[in-house]
Amino acid sequence: MSDKKYNYCILLFLIAVMGMIIATGNIGNFINEKMFIYTYISLGVLIVFFIREVFTEEHGSTRKKFLNLICFVFLVLGIVAYNGNLSQEYLNFIKNNRDGRTTKVVTKSNVVDIKKQESENANKEELIINDENYISTLNDMYDNINNYVGRKIRVQGQVFKSESMKENELAIGKYYMYCCAVDMSLTGFMFNKDPNFNLVENNWYEVEAVISSHKYEMSPGQIIDEPILKIINYKKIDKPANTLVY
């Protein structure tokens, strides 16, 4: 097979795969919707190169160098665009919530009248968690737990357990994907096991709970606040079509 035919095959294969993923709507299973535009641009570039390969004669070394330069420029632009989308909010989320725990040290300025705050929060409207506010709310709960303690919350998700959790701890959540499938991980709201509520790992539930918190010593002298749910009601639900949050 000549080099030109080999190029045809590679380009056609890439165009077919990307076109199929986009046409079937499965693109969201691989990358965040914020990155869709770059996929469309890449597909357009591949199509342009394919047309050029089909309808142009074999070209000399100068033209090859020029095309290689274009490919390199697109690659660099893609990398720069990707890094530019790593918002400070996301970086803080990864830093503060590694293994599901925040690393905020409790100081005197953090100490408040928990009972008073809890009473005020109990009168607030029930917090309904959906795909749009999922990550932002979870992040804010870790940063400002005193604004949430005592407040009711309703959330849907899959029950899971990570290695960092204690024996009596579980979590309910969804797969969080910031950029693509490579960085996807289960992220959710922790709760303690309760003999009155038999939530089984890997099953999907809608949970109604009250937000609480507890202290956790990450290392000597480093105390963190963790949000934790006290379940008051739940029901089993079918696995949703979309199990991801962005």
DSSP state string for 165-210: S-TTEEEEEEEE-SSBGGG-EEEEEEEE-BTTB-PPTT-EEEEEEE
**Tens digit of each residue's pLDDT (9 = 90 or more) over 93-112:** 444 444 444 333 334 444 44
In sequence order, the 6+-apart residues with CB closer than 8 A to the CB of 52 are: none
E strand or H helix that includes residue 71: helix 61-84
Determine the pLDDT at residue 106. Answer: 38
Residue 78 has pLDDT above 50, yes or no: no
Give the angle 139-145-151 at the CA atoms, nearest 5°.
105
- The C-alpha R_g of the chain, in whole angstroms, comes to 24
- Residue corresponding to tokens 């070209």: 59
- Report whether pLDDT(165) > 90: no
Tell me how far apart the alpha carbons of residues 211 and 204 are, in angstroms, rounded to a whole number. Answer: 20
Name the residue ranges covered by the structural domains of the chain.
3-84, 88-245
> What is the per-residue pLDDT for 236?
94
DSSP code for 35? G
Question: pLDDT by residue (tens digit) across 194-241?
Answer: 888 889 899 999 999 999 988 877 677 777 788 889 999 999 999 888
